[in-house]
Amino acid sequence: MERPRTVADKIPGYDYGSANVAKSPITLQEFEQLKHSATFTEEDEHWLRVAGDILADQTEELVGKWREVIAAQNHLARYSQKPDGEKDARYSERSGLRFQQWVLDTCLRPYDQDWLNYQQEMALRHTSVKKNKTDNVRSAPTIHLRHVIAFNAVLG
């Protein structure tokens, strides 16, 4: 089996496929239903794979652009800042690598149970259940779902 592409040899806090990752409450059958609801097809998967190959060496720039959008809006920037409002460089670097890896995983990984589980893990890391714990930082305790949903317009 081919080793999955990664943005770095070591990505702190990236534990895709490990027993440490939360189990998704969504079954593979339910995931198939969600894909149908979103009209997501095998052709879409194909083009994501193509996009992943193209974006593989551009993830840092892509995530950098997305983070510029976040940094320019105080109500979004606060989610990754220290309580005093200052940027946490260590957290920014570590979470940035995971964000870059998310691009590759979304495009290139098979949509199987490990993929579903990691989506759940990332979701929890945006809530008070796991936010700030992966990198042992002090920041806002949760990222409000309304901002996650709205930011999808930037991602897409």
Sorted by where each begins, the domain ranges of the chain are 40-155
Q: What is the pLDDT of residue 2?
A: 64
Q: What is the pLDDT of residue 72?
A: 96
Under CATH, what is the fold of the domain 40-155? Globin-like (1.10.490)
Please list the rounded mean pLDDT of every run of 10 residues in the chain (156 residues): 84 96 98 98 97 96 97 95 93 96 97 97 96 94 95 91
Q: For the residues of the chain, what is the DSSP string, one character each? A: -PPPP-SSS--TT--TTSTTSPPPSS-HHHHHHHHHHTT--HHHHHHHHHHHHHHTTTHHHHHHHHHHHHHT-HHHHGGGB-TTS-B-HHHHHHHHHHHHHHHHHHHHS--SHHHHHHHHHHHHTTSTTTTTTTTT--S-S---HHHHHHHHHHH-
Q: What is the pLDDT of residue 156?
A: 81
Reported pTM: 0.92
Rounded to the nearest integer, the mean pLDDT of the chain is 95
Q: What is the pLDDT of residue 1?
A: 53
